[in-house]
Amino acid sequence: MTLAELEIAQAASLKEIASASDASAVESLRVKYIGRNGSIPAVIKAMKDVPKEERPAFGKAVQLWKAQVESALQAKGGSQSAEKTVEADLTLPGRWWGLGAKHPLSRVIEDSAAIFAKLGFTVADGPEIENRFNNFTALNTPAHHPSMDRSDTFWFGEDSLLRTQTSPVQIRAMMSNKPPVRVICPGRTYRRDTTDATHSANFHQIEGLYVDETATKPVSLADLKSVLAYFAREMMGECVTVRFRPHFFPFTEPSVEVDFTCHVCKGKGCNVCKQSGWIEVAGAGMVDPRVFKHVGYDSEKYSGYAFGFGVERIAMIKYGIPDIRWLYENDLRFLSQLG
């Protein structure tokens, strides 16, 4: 190809691009001229056959041709986009996607905080990465307890871990304040437990703590039961009552398991409560004197109770959710039903 032929091809290509009527035509011309097997790459490959003395001028003309074609294609593509934008009907009304709703876990946490606020409890918070003392030692957990194993707990080295409960927040609250202390501690916790549809490696808890002077305002299991009974009625319905069953927890003595009457059958027995009429909801008890010793409280002078329940547990019972994993999958088909 001579310089004269190159000029003719250049003019023809620019004219052809200018007359392209749609995006597909522009794309075809891009492939035709600057694609891997296009006209311009073919001319560049054939430059070895151009006489040596003409090669500099010829190469400069080819590069100019390529730049002009690329610029024309880009401009034509932009004009096509602009034409499409102009064609849009801006007077059409927007699409209505509907109102969102709070996640069931957020609902339970907020409702619980509001219920306990009526009883004088404030919300306390703490870090999710805790140390051994706050998470285990101060809670009177023995060194051989299986919860300290790496098979049960997420550890970072020897002293740092993802908290297995929100009880460390109670420890922090007592170490930072003198009695009376009346707090609830909602938050996310972590355990290596994914055994079935009711367990997850991460879950939420709400724990409560009340400590006061024994001489002026003694704290008892009766106080604890009245508080949890009020919470049960406010959260699950007026017909729900509470019962205590003896149990053991390292950080409380005496300790109890807390059951609510089944809100579905009203205590008569059904598949939800396995025909017992009761649903296990929480653990509770009087704060162990050894816990008071770790936080610097005089167990002869102060007494208190503590309780804790799983937020997912309450949500599953209240909203009839059979699988805990539904709460974390962000499936709008499920979440929209709770709106």
Q: Which residues lie closer than 8 Å to 288 by C-beta, 6 or more apart? A: 140, 250, 251, 252, 253
User: Could you tell me the strand order of the sheet in which 181-190 lies?
Assistant: 122-123, 181-190, 202-213, 302-310, 278-287, 252-261, 242-249
Nearest in space to 217 (alpha carbons), one of 305, 292, 124, 333: 305
Query: Of 185 and 25, which is predicted with more confidence?
Result: 185
pLDDT band at 218 (very low <50, low <70, confident <90, very high): confident
Residue 93 carries which DSSP code?
P
Q: What are phi and psi of 141, to 5 degrees?
A: -85, 125
Alpha-carbon gap, residue 179 to 194, rounded angstroms: 38
- What is the residue-averaged pLDDT of the chain? 86
Question: Residue 138 — very low, low, confident or very high, per pLDDT cuts 50/70/90?
Answer: very high
Please tell me the distance from the alpha carbon of residue 151 to that of residue 196, in angstroms, as a whole number. 17
Q: How confident is the model at residue 142 (pLDDT cuts 50, 70, 90)?
A: confident
Q: What's the pLDDT score for residue 107? A: 92
> Beta strand pairing status for 202-213 and 181-190?
antiparallel
Could you tell me the pLDDT band of residue 144, with boundaries at 50, 70 and 90?
Answer: confident
Closest CA to 203 of 187, 217, 185, 222: 187
| Alpha-carbon distances, residue 131 vs 44, 76, 337 (angstroms) | 69, 64, 40
Determine the Cα–Cα distance for residues 175 and 209; give it in Å rounded to an integer: 13
Identify the residue whose tokens are 């096509």: 80
pTM over 0.95: no
Per-residue tokens: 332: 């709008």
DSSP state of 333: H
**Of the ranges 66-70, 87-91, 243-247, which one carries the lowest mean pLDDT score?**
87-91
Calculate the alpha carbon distances from 195 to 164, 308, 315, 325 in Å.
16, 21, 19, 12
User: What is the DSSP code (8-state) at residue 272?
Assistant: T
Percent of the chain with pLDDT over 70: 94
Q: Is 283 exposed, middle or buried (0-12, 13-18, 19+ CB in 10 A)?
A: buried
What are the pLDDT digits (tens) for 24-82? 888 888 888 888 888 888 888 888 888 888 888 888 888 888 888 888 888 877 555 54
Count CB neighbours of 119 within 10 A. 15
